[in-house]
Structures are given as structure tokens and as C-alpha cells.
Amino acid sequence: MEDFDSIGLVELSSVARGYTVEDAMIKAANVKIIMARTICSGKFLVAVAGDSDAVGAALDSAAKAGRGAIIEKRHIHRVHPSIFPAIMGNVALDPETTGALGIIETFSASSIIDVADAAVKSANVILFRVHLAMALGGKGFVLMTGDVASVETAVQVGSDVAGEDGILVDRQVIPRPAKELFKEFI
């Protein structure tokens, strides 16, 4: 995604305040909205991309505009480039040439980006989906593929990151998944 290397996320308890925060973030800095929408349990999630300084400025603006309604605010620096297409659903994946399937699930939508980033930086895997909160009760999950050893390493590293924050729901590695599993997620 252009020359962006950072992601900022804000999860709010108010939909109305969510729109106010989104507006403030856009006006504060040169950032691009990755996602801004209602999520389960009546919350609102805003995710922006940009260079680190711009994302920081947008998050500062969000903190002011969202005062009293912010559940979580997160700045992820030097994001692996494969994170952006996996969030946006733009990963081309041939189900006939995939390997093992790795899944990590977290209680927090915004934390899944940290988890996915750590996972993809630790091993030779392809992230093909980073799912943020929609129809999950505010949770997040990441799907990846690669050879079994790489997927096991990536899932372990990502799970360790989630475990440090106490937000890991579950993790799984399926060494030889049915090809239909990949078709469902592409």
C-alpha cells in the first residue's frame, strides 16, 4: 500500500464518536483509511495507514476526539507489507498450490494485526486473511499458509505475542488441509 509502513487503530464504544474520530484522524495527517465501520457489540473500529509520524499524529487526534469512548488505541510501526492486502482481502492464492493452514484467533480485533505482523516476520508464510471484528463479537483472526515447519513457527510466534497481552483465544495448524478450506476464504 503505497509507501506506508505503519497502521493505527482505534476501537470505540460509541458509533457516533467513531465517525467523529475517523474525521479527526483524516484531517490530522496524511493517512489512508483502511477500515472504518461498526463492529459487533455496538462498537466502532477505525484503522488507518501511513508513515509512522502521520499515523502518530492521527492517533493523537483520535485520543482527543474520542476521549471517554476509546476502548483500545494501537500504533504498529514498520508493518510487514503483506499485512495491507491481507486486511483488504486482496491476496491472490491458488488453492491447488497451498501448504499447511495456520490460524490464530484473538479476543481483540486491533491486536490481530500485531499478531499477524510478528507471524509473517518470523517465517516464510503467506498471509491471506487478516479479519478484523466483523461478525466475530469484536475478535480477530489471521489465516496463513506455507510449508508445515514455517506455519508452525509463525503460529507459535504470533500466539506468543497474543499470549503476552492475554488475548489469545486459540491457534491451530492443519498440516494437510482440504483444498476446499482455502476456497472458502479467498
Give one word for 110, left, alpha or beta, with left for phi > 0 and alpha for psi -120 to 50.
alpha
| Residue 122 shares a structural domain with residue 71 | no
Rounded to an integer, the average pLDDT of 93-101 is 82
In a domain, 131, yes or no: yes
Q: Count the neighbouring beta carbons within 10 Å of the beta carbon of residue 37.
A: 16
Residue 47: domain span: 6-76
In sequence order, the β-bridge partners of residue 32 are: 49
Nearest 5°: phi and psi at 116?
-65, -40
- What are the pLDDT digits (tens) for 9-54? 999 999 999 999 999 999 999 999 988 988 877 889 899 999 999 9
Please tell me the predicted confidence (pLDDT) of residue 39: 82
Flag whether 66 is in a domain.
yes
Number of domains in the chain: 2
Evaluate whether residue 38 is within a structural domain: yes
Q: Are residues 68 and 87 in the same domain?
A: no
Does 87 share its domain with 161?
Answer: yes
| DSSP 8-state code for residue 172 | E
- Specify whether 57 is located in the same domain as 34: yes
What is the grid cell recorded at 3? 509507501
**Reported confidence tier of residue 169, pLDDT bands at 50, 70, 90:** very high
Residues 102 and 72 in one domain: no
pTM for the whole thing?
0.85
Cβ neighbours of residue 41 closer than 8 Å, sequence gap 6 or more: 137, 138
Stated as kind and residue range, the H or E segment containing 17 is helix 15-28
Please report whether residue 1 resides in a domain: no
Single out the residue in 55, 76, 97 at which a domain terminates.
76
pLDDT confidence of residue 186:
44
pLDDT at 145 over 90: yes
Domain boundary among 31, 57, 76: 76
We report the CATH number of the domain holding residue 90 as: 3.30.70.1710
Confidence at 157, pLDDT banded by 50, 70, 90: very high
Does residue 69 sit within a domain?
A: yes
Same domain flag for 174 and 87: yes
Position 165 scores a pLDDT of 83
Give residue 184's pLDDT. 64
pLDDT given at position 61: 97
Q: What is the pLDDT of residues 117-139, one digit of tens each?
A: 999 999 999 998 888 766 666 78
